C-alpha cells in the first residue's frame, strides 16, 4: 500500500525537534530508524502523521561510560550497540540481544531509542532494560525527566512518554564484578520476533528475570526472581508460569508460550552455572 | 541426424553443460522490464475495494466520498463490468461432475471471500486509487460463512451457491484390485491422518497487468506477468468480445510465478474490461498485502489413509480418503479439481502394488480460491505415501530404505502402468536410491544419529521417493475443452550477421527458460549460445504455445527449439553446399563457421553466407531454397505425461523441550531425463526443495471460523529464509524420454514434491524413541511438543 504522511520535517537539534513536535499539535510523530514506523505507514496502520525526523541529531547517538553507568544515546543503531566495546564489557546482555533482533539491514538502521519508544511486547531491548534496571531519559516542552524502566512500559506500544516528548538516552548500571547476563529466546526463524524471550541477570543483590512476548508488555518476574534467590529452580519455573499471561496467535498458543518460558528459564540458569546447553 | 549426447567432446556440445544465463546481467543490473516498469501515455491506475467479510449479500454503494478524492477518474461496480464482460465457469469436461458457479470480474450481488474485488477505483495514481478505495462504502449484509472442509457437506452447513444444490465441487473415486480383501488378510495395517496446510506462492514480483485498448485498431494489448500468454489471449478475447486475433498479450520479465501466474484473476480481467470501457491504458499491480488474500492458495488437504503390508514389507494395498476446500469458485480455466485429482493419480507412485483405492472430495468454502501451485498435488501425495511407508517399516521393524527397495518398480520393469493407471515410460527408482544412499553415506549417518542420541540429542533421517508429472499432453486440459495448448512451437532464424534469433512459445519467469533455449538452439544450429537471441512471451510474435507450467518448458519447448534449430542448420547447409559446390552432408556448422564435417576445416563463416543470401541472392542458383527461417512444433504423442522420479533425504535435529526443528542437511537424487543445463536444473531442485521445506516447517495460511484471514503479511506468513535452509546436495540419474530427440523431462517441481515428506519422516524418525509422531504440516514447534504431550492447556 502507499503510505500517507501528513508532512515531514528534519530536526537539527533536540530543541528543534521539541519545537517541531509542539507545533504539530498532537499530530507529530518522531521518525528515528523508521524500521517500525515506516512499515506501519506502508500498511496504513499509521496515517497522516507529521513526521519529525531526528535521525540527523548527532548528540543523540553514541555510548559513554561515567558514574557507574553506561549511557546509550537514543539514536544509537542496533548494529552499533552490538559491536560497541563499552557495551560489550559493561552490558553484554544488550550485545547479545542485538544478534536476535531482525536482520542486518534492519539492525543498521533501527535505533535503541526507537525500539524502546515503540514498546513492542515481543522486542528484546525493552525486556533487557527491565532486567538491567535501566533508566530512560526523556526531554520535552516541560523539561527533562528520567523514568525507571519498570515505570516506562505500560501496554502494547504504549509507554510513559507524553505527547511531544522525546526519548534522548538510556542509562544502564555497569555490570559488577561477577555479574552474569544471559538472554534466551525461541523464534520461528532467525530475525523473527521471539515466541518467548527471557533475560536473566545475576547480581550480588540477587537475580533479575525479565520476559518478552509473554503479554502486553515486557515483565519482571518477581516471584521467579525470589525463588531463584532462594535457590529453588522448580519453584521459580512454577512461579513464572503464574506470573505471565501470554497471548495466543497464529504462531503459538498461550500454553506453548507458558511451557517455553519455563524451558528458557532452566536453560538460562544452566548457562549461569556454565553448563552451556 | 541425431546428436550423440553421451559424447562430451562432440562439436557445439552445449546441451548438458552449464552456460551463462543470457538474461542474468540484465536482471542483476536492474535493467529488466517488468510490467510495473512500463508507463504508457494517458495511463491510469486501478485499485480495488475488496470484501472485508467472507460471505455477504452486497447492498447499496456509497461512492461519493471516494469520487471526491483528488485524482479519481471513474469508479466501477460489479454491475457496471457485467455489462461488458461475460462471467466464466471453471469446469472441464473430463473432470466428471465438477461444478462451479459463474464468476464475474467484480462481485455481483454477493461477495464470497475476504479479498474478493467488489469495487474498482480508477485514478491518476495508485496512491489516489487506494485512498479512494478505502473510502468506498458498501452495505454488506453478512451471510453465514462455510470455512471447515470436513463439515462442508453436512446437512446443517449452509450451501454457498444454492443453485448448485450442495457444497460439493468435485468427487472422484478410483479403485483398483480388491482393496478390502487385501486389508483384511494383511500381516500389518497402519493408518494415519495427514494434513497439509493452506499455502500461497509469494512471488517476488506481485501479480501485474497493464492493458491498453486501442479502439482505432480494435486491438487490445495486455502487458501481463503471466506464465501462459496464449491462454490469456483466448480468455480476454472470449469474455470481452474481441476477436482472438485482436488481443495481444506481451509478457516481458516476470519475477517468479510458481503457478500463481497461470490463472485467471477477477481483478486482472476487471483491469482489461476497464481499459476497454475507458479507452485508456489501465495498470494494476497487486501489493503484497492484497496478494495474500487474492493470489491463489493451495494444498489445504485433510487425509485419512492406510497401508497394508505383508511380513516381508511388500505393500499389499493403499487406501486414501482425501478432502480439500477450494474456496467459493473453481479457478478458471484450469479448475480447482486438478490438485485433488493429482492426489488420486500420484499416491503410491513409486511402488509396484496391486490394490489401490483413493477418493478425493473437493468442497466449496468462503476462503480465497485455491488452484495449481508448484508441484500440484505432489507434496500431498508424497507425504501420504512416504509417511505410510515409513510407518509400515517401523511397525514391522524394517529399515526405511529396505522397505522401499522391496517395493519400488524395478528399473527394468518399464513401461508399466500403476494401480492409479498412470503410465510410466522409464524411471530409475533403484538407481536413484543407490546413488542417494551413497551420497549421504546412510550408514555413517545412522551411526551419527545413534551417537547423538547418547548425548540426549534427537536426530532423524527421513527418506522420500517420489514421481513427478511433467510434459503434459492434451490429456491434462485440452481433452476437457480448455484452450490451453499442450504443443509448443519455436521459430529459429539466421540474420545476415550470422546470429540466430529464436522465438518460442514457452515463457521465462526467472527459472532460466531462455538460457535453456539458447543452448539448445546453439547446439542445434552450430553457433555459440551468445550468438542466439531468445524472444518469448508475445502472442503476436512467437509461435503458438502453452507457456511454462507443469514442468513443460524444457521438455516441450526445448524439443521444438531443437527441431527448429536442426531444420535451420539443414537449410543453411543447403545454401552452403551450393556456394561451396559440395554435398550438404559433407559439411557441418561449428562455432558459427561452415566447416568440412570430416576434418573440421573452416570453409565459410555464417556472416558470409548471410551476406550472400540477404544482399547478393542474385548470385545463388535461381531455384535454390534459402529459407533461413524455420519453425517446428512439438507435442508428446505416446504418453499422457512424462513422469520423472527421484528420492530425497533429510537429516535434522528436534529439540524435545522447545519443539524446534533444525535442518542439518538435505539430499536429492532426481531423474529428469536429459539434463540440458546442470546448474539450472540443480538450482530448480534447490529452489523447489526450499519451497517444500517451507511447507514442512513454516507456511500456513490461517483463517478464523468466520473466514477472516489472520496472517496476510510477510510478518506472520512465514516463508522459508536463507538462515534456516540446510546445505543441499543434488545428483542426477538420466533416463531420457524416447518421445523426443532431446529426451528432456521436467525438473521444476521435483524439489517441492519430495521435501515435505522427507522432513516429516525425519522428524518422526527423531521422535520415535519418544513415542511421538506428527502428520500435520507445518511441523511447528508447538505441534511437535503437543505430539510429545508436553503442553498442558
Ligand atoms: C522485518 C523486521 C523484523 C524485526 N524484528 C525485530 C526483532 O526481532 N526484535 C526487535 O526488537 N525489533 C525488531 N524489529 C523492529 C526494529 O528493531 C525497529 O528498528 C525498532 O522497533 C524501532 O526502531 P526505529 O529506530 O526503527 O524506530 P522508528 O520506526 O523510527 O520509530 C518507532 C516508533 O518509536 C517512536 N520513536 C522512535 N524514536 C523515538 C525517540 N527517540 N523518542 C520518542 N519516540 C521515538 C516513533 O515515533 C515510532 O512511533 C523488526 C523490524 C522489521 C522491519
In this predicted structure, the answer to whether residue A74 has a pLDDT above a threshold of 80 is yes
In this predicted structure, the answer to whether residue A277 has a pLDDT above a threshold of 60 is no
**Residue-averaged pLDDT of chain B:** 97
The structural domains of chain A, ordered by start, are 5-53 (3.30.43.10), 61-173 (3.30.465.10), 180-272 (3.30.390.50)
pTM beyond 0.90: the answer is yes
Q: Is the CB of A35 under 6 A from ligand 1?
A: yes
Give pLDDT, residue B20: 86
Cβ B632 vs Cβ B525: under 8 Å: no
Question: A259 and B792 in contact by Cβ < 8 A?
Answer: yes
Distance CA B712, CA B730 (A): 33
Give pLDDT, residue A1: 87
Inter-CA distances, B460 with A89, A186, A241, B386, Å: 40, 21, 31, 15
Give pLDDT, residue B6: 86
**Residue-averaged pLDDT of chain A:** 96
Chain A residues touching B700 at Cβ < 8 A: 250
What's the pLDDT tens digit per position in B214-252?
999 999 999 999 999 999 999 999 999 999 999 999 999
Distance CA B385, CA B362 (A): 20
Cβ B536 vs Cβ B503: under 8 Å: yes
Peptide bond into A105 cis (omega under 30): no
Give pLDDT, residue B1: 56
Q: Which atom of ligand 1 is nearest to the CA of A103?
A: 3
Of A81, A75, A89, A79, nearest to A13 by C-alpha is A75
What's the pLDDT tens digit per position in B340-390?
999 999 999 999 999 999 999 999 999 999 999 999 999 999 999 999 999
Q: Is the CB of A37 under 6 A from ligand 1?
A: yes
SS3 B141: strand
Residues 209-268 of chain A with CB under 8 A from chain B are: 249-253, 255-256, 259-260, 263
Contacts 24+ apart (CB under 8 A), B238-241: B238/B86, B239/B85, B239/B86, B239/B87, B239/B88, B239/B269, B240/B84, B240/B85, B240/B269, B240/B272, B240/B273, B240/B276, B241/B84, B241/B86
SS3 A146: strand
Q: Which of A43, A102, A188, A197 to mutate to test the interface with B (most CBs of B within 10 A)?
A: A188
Written in H, E and C, the secondary structure of B552-614 is: CHHHHHHHHHHHHHHHHHHHHHHHHHHHHCCCHHHEEEECCEEEECCCCCEEEEHHHHHHHHH
In this predicted structure, the answer to whether residue A34 has a pLDDT above a threshold of 80 is yes
In this predicted structure, the answer to whether residue A273 has a pLDDT above a threshold of 90 is no
In this predicted structure, the answer to whether residue B173 has a pLDDT above a threshold of 90 is yes
| Mean local confidence (pLDDT), B636-658 | 97
Give pLDDT, residue A275: 58
Inter-CA distances, A117 with B211, B246, B361, B400, B611, Å: 46, 58, 52, 54, 73
Cβ B382 vs Cβ B311: under 8 Å: no
Give pLDDT, residue B689: 98
Residue A108: how many CB atoms within 10 A of its CB?
14
Of B174, B135, B150, nearest to B47 by C-alpha is B135
Distance CA A35, CA A110 (A): 6
In this predicted structure, the answer to whether residue B425 has a pLDDT above a threshold of 90 is yes
Chain A residues touching B46 at Cβ < 8 A: none
Of A33, A58, A187, nearest to A117 by C-alpha is A33
| Mean local confidence (pLDDT), B125-143 | 97
Residue B574 burial by CB count (10 A; 0-12/13-18/19+): exposed, middle or buried?
middle
Cα of A170 from ligand 1 centre, angstroms: 15
In this predicted structure, the answer to whether residue B410 has a pLDDT above a threshold of 70 is yes
B721 reaches A (C-beta below 8 A): yes
- CA-proximal residue: ligand 1, atom 38 (nearest): A114
Instruction: Return the C-alpha cell found at A145.
Output: 525527566
What's the pLDDT tens digit per position in B652-695?
999 999 999 999 999 999 999 999 999 999 999 999 999 999 99
Distance CA B497, CA B23 (A): 21
Q: Which of A256, A267, A270 to mutate to test the interface with B (most CBs of B within 10 A)?
A: A256
What ipTM was estimated for this complex? Answer: 0.96
Q: Grid coordinates 492406510 are at which residue?
A: B306
User: Who among A2, A250, A263 is closest to B716 (CB)?
Assistant: A250
Of B776, B565, B709, B741, nearest to B52 by C-alpha is B709
Residues 38-67 of chain A with CB under 8 A from chain B are: 43-44
Distance CA B322, CA A30 (A): 53
Written in H, E and C, the secondary structure of B493-517 is: EECCCCCEEEEECCCCCCCCHHHHH
The structural domains of chain B, ordered by start, are 24-33+487-634 (3.30.365.10), 39-143+204-294 (3.90.1170.50), 297-474+638-787 (3.30.365.10)
Q: Grid coordinates 527491565 are at which residue?
A: A130
Q: Which atom of ligand 1 is nearest to the CA of A102?
A: 5
User: What is the nearest CA distance from A69 to chain B, expressed in angstroms?
Assistant: 36
Q: Is the CB of A106 under 6 A from ligand 1?
A: yes
Instruction: Return the C-alpha cell found at B747.
Output: 525438473
Cβ B592 vs Cβ B523: under 8 Å: no
| Mean local confidence (pLDDT), B559-563 | 98
pLDDT band (50, 70, 90) for residue B3: confident
| Mean local confidence (pLDDT), B247-261 | 96
Q: Is the CB of A114 under 6 A from ligand 1?
A: yes
Written in H, E and C, the secondary structure of B207-219 is: CEEEEEEECCCCE
Distance CA B429, CA B646 (A): 7
- What's the DSSP call for residue B297? E
| Mean local confidence (pLDDT), B94-102 | 97
Kindly identify which residue of chain A lies nearest to residue B721, measuring between CA atoms.
A189
Give pLDDT, residue A4: 86
Give pLDDT, residue B687: 97
User: What is the nearest CA distance from A266 to chain B, expressed in angstroms?
Assistant: 11
Amino acid at each position: 500500500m502507499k503510505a500517507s504522511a501528513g508532512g515531514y520535517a528534519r530536526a537539527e537539534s533536540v530543541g528543534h525537534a521539541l519545537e517541531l513536535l509542539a507545533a504539530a499539535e498532537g499530530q507529530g510523530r518522531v521518525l528515528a530508524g523508521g524500521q517500525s514506523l515506516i512499515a506501519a505507514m506502508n500498511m496504513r496502520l499509521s496515517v497522516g502523521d507529521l513526521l519529525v525526523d531526528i535521525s540527523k541529531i548527532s548528540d543523540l547517538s553514541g555510548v559513554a561510560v561515567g558514574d557507574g553507568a553506561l549511557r546509550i544515546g537514543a539514536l544509537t543503531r542496533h548494529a552499533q550497540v552490538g559491536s560497541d566495546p563499552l557495551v560489550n564489557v559493561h552490558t553484554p546482555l544488550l550485545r547479545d540481544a542485538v544478534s536476535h533482533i531482525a536482520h542486518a539491514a534492519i539492525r543498521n538502521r533501527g535505533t535503541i531509542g526507537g525500539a524502546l519508544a515503540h514498546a513492542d511486547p515481543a522486542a528484546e531491548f525493552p525486556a533487557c532494560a527491565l532486567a538491567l534496571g535501566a533508566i530512560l531519559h526523556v526531554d520535552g516542552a516541560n523539561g527533562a525527566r528520567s523514568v525507571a524502566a519498570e515505570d516506562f512500559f505500560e501496554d502494547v506500544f504504549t509507554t510513559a512518554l507524553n505527547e511531544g516528548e522525546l526519548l534522548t538516552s538510556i542509562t544502564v548500571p555497569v555490570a559488577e564484578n561477577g555479574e552474569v547476563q544471559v538472554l534466551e529466546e525461541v523464534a520461528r526463524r532467525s530475525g523473527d520476533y521471539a515466541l518467548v524471550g527471557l533475560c536473566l541477570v545475576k547480581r550480588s543483590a540477587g537475580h533479575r528475570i525479565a520476559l518478552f512476548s509473554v503479554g502486553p508488555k515486557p515483565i519482571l518476574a518477581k516471584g521467579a526472581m525470589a525463588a531463584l534467590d532462594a535457590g529453588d529452580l522448580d519453584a521459580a519455573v512454577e512461579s513464572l508460569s503464574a506470573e505471565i499471561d501470554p497471548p495466543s496467535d497464529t504462531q503459538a498458543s498461550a500454553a506453548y508460550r507458558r511451557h517455553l518460558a519455563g524451558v528458557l528459564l532452566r536453560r538460562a540458569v544452566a548457562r549461569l552455572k556454565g553448563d552451556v546447553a | 541426424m541425431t546428436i550423440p549426447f553421451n559424447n562430451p567432446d562432440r562439436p557445439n556440445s552445449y546441451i548438458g553443460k552449464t552456460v551463462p544465463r543470457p538474461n542474468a546481467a540484465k536482471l542483476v543490473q536492474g535493467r529488466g522490464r517488468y510490467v510495473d516498469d512500463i508507463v504508457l501515455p494517458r495511463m491510469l491506475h486501478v485499485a480495488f475495494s475488496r470484501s472485508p467479510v467472507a460471505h455477504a449479500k452486497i447492498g447499496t454503494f456509497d461512492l461519493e466520498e471516494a469520487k471526491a478524492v483528488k485524482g479519481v477518474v471513474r469508479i466501477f461496480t460489479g454491475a457496471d463490468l457485467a455489462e461488458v464482460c461475460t462471467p466464466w465457469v471453471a469446469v472441464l469436461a473430463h473432470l466428471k461432475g465438477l461444478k462451479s458457479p459463474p464468476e464475474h470480474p467484480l462481485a455481483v450481488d454477493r461477495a464470497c471471500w475476504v479479498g474478493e474485488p467488489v469495487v474498482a477505483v480508477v485514478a491518476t495514481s495508485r496512491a489516489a486509487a487506494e485512498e479512494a478505495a478505502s473510502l468506498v462504502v458498501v452495505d454488506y449484509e453478512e451471510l453465514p460463512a462455510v470455512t471447515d472442509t470436513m463439515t462442508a457437506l453436512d446437512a446443517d452447513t449452509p450451501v454457498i451457491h444454492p443453485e448448485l444444490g450442495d457444497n460439493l465441487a468435485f468427487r472422484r473415486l478410483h479403485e483398483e484390485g480388491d482393496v478390502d480383501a487385501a486389508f483384511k488378510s494383511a500381516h500389518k495395517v497402519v493408518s494415519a491422518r495427514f494434513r497439509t496446510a493452506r499455502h500461497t506462492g509469494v512471488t517476488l514480483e506481485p501479480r501485474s497487468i497493464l492493458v491498453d485498448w486501442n479502439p482505432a485498431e480494435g486491438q487490445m494489448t495486455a502487458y501481463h506477468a503471466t506464465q501462459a500468454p496464449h491462454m490469456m489471449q483466448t480468455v480476454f478475447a472470449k469474455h470481452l468480445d474481441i476477436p482472438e486475433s485482436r488481443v495481444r498479450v506481451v509478457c516481458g520479465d516476470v519475477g517468479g510465478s510458481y503457478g500463481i501466474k497461470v490463472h485467471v484473476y477477477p481483478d486482472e480481467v476487471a483491469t482489461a474490461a476497464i481499459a476497454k470501457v475507458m479507452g485508456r491504458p489501465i495498470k494494476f499491480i497487486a501489493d503484497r498485502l492484497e496478494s495474500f488474500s487474492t493470489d491463489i492458495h493451495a494444498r489445504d488437504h485433510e487425509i485419512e489413509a492406510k497401508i497394508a503390508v505383508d511380513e516381508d514389507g511388500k505393500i499389499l494395498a493403499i487406501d486414501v480418503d482425501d478432502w480439500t476446500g477450494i474456496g467459493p469458485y473453481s479457478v478458471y480455466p484450469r479448475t480447482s479439481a486438478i490438485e485433488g485429482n493429482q492426489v488420486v493419480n500420484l499416491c503410491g507412485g513409486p511402488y509396484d502394488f496391486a490394490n489401490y483405492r483413493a477418493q478425493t472430495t473437493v468442497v466449496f468454502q468462503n476462503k480465497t480460491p485455491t488452484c495449481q501451485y508448484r508441484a500440484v498435488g505432489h507434496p500431498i501425495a508424497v507425504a501420504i505415501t512416504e509417511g505410510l511407508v515409513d510407518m509400515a517399516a517401523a511397525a514391522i521393524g524394517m529399515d526405511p530404505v529396505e522397505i522401499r527397495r522391496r517395493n519400488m518398480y524395478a528399473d527394468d520393469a518399464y513401461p508399466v502402468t500403476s494401480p492409479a493407471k498412470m503410465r510410466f515410460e522409464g524411471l530409475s527408482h533403484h538407481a536413484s536410491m543407490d546413488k542417494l544412499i551413497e551420497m549421504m553415506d546412510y550408514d555413517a549417518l545412522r551411526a551419527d544419529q545413534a551417537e547423538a542420541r547418547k548425548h540426549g540429542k534427537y536426530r532423524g533421517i527421513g527418506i522420500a521417493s517420489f514421481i513427478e508429472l511433467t510434459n503434459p499432453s492434451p490429456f491434462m486440459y485440452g481433452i476437457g475443452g480448455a484452450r490451453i495448448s499442450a504443443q509448443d512451437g519455436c521459430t529459429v532464424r539466421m540474420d545476415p550477421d550470422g546470429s540466430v534469433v529464436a522465438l518460442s512459445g514457452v515463457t521465462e519467469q526467472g527459472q532460466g527458460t531462455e538460457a535453456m533455449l539458447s543452448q539448445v538452439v546453439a547446439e542445434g544450429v552450430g553457433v555459440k549460445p551468445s550468438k542466439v537471441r531468445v524472444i518469448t512471451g508475445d502472442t503476436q510474435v512467437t509461435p503458438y504455445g502453452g507457456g511454462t507450467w507443469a514442468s513443460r518448458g524444457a521438455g516441450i519447448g526445448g524439443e521444438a527449439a531443437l527441431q527448429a534449430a536442426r531444420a535451420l542448420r539443414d537449410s543453411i547447409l543447403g545454401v552452403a553446399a551450393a556456394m561451396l559446390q559440395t554435398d550438404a552432408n559433407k559439411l557441418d556448422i561449428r562455432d558459427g563457421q561452415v566447416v568440412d564435417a570430416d576434418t573440421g576445416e573452416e570453409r565459410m563463416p555464417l556472416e558470409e553466407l548471410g551476406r550472400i543470401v540477404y544482399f547478393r541472392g542474385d548470385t545463388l542458383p535461381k531455384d535454390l531454397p534459402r529459407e533461413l527461417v524455420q519453425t517446428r512444433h512439438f507435442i508428446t504423442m505416446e504418453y499422457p505425461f512424462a513422469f520423472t522420479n527421484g528420492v530425497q533425504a533429510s537429516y535434522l535435529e528436534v529439540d524435545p523441550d522447545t519443539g524446534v526443528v533444525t535442518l542439518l542437511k538435505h539430499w536429492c537424487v532426481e531423474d529428469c531425463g536429459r539434463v540440458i543445463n546442470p546448474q539450472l536444473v540443480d538450482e530448480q531442485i534447490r529452489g523447489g526443495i526450499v519451497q517444500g521445506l517451507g511447507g514442512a516447517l513454516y507456511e500456513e495460511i490461517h483463517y478464523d471460523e468466520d473466514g477472516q484471514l489472520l496472517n496476510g503479511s510477510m510478518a506472520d506468513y512465514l516463508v522459508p529464509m536463507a538462515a534456516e535452509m540446510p546445505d543441499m546436495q543434488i545428483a542426477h540419474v538420466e533416463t531420457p524420454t524416447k518421445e523426443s530427440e532431446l529426451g528432456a523431462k521436467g525438473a521444476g517441481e521435483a524439489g517441492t514434491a519430495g521435501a515435505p515428506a522427507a522432513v516429516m519422516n525425519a522428524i518422526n524418525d527423531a521422535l520415535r524413541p519418544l513415542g511421538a509422531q506428527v502428520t500435520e504440516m507445518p511441523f511447528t514447534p508447538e505441534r511437535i511438543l503437543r505430539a510429545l504431550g508436553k503442553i498442558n492447556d
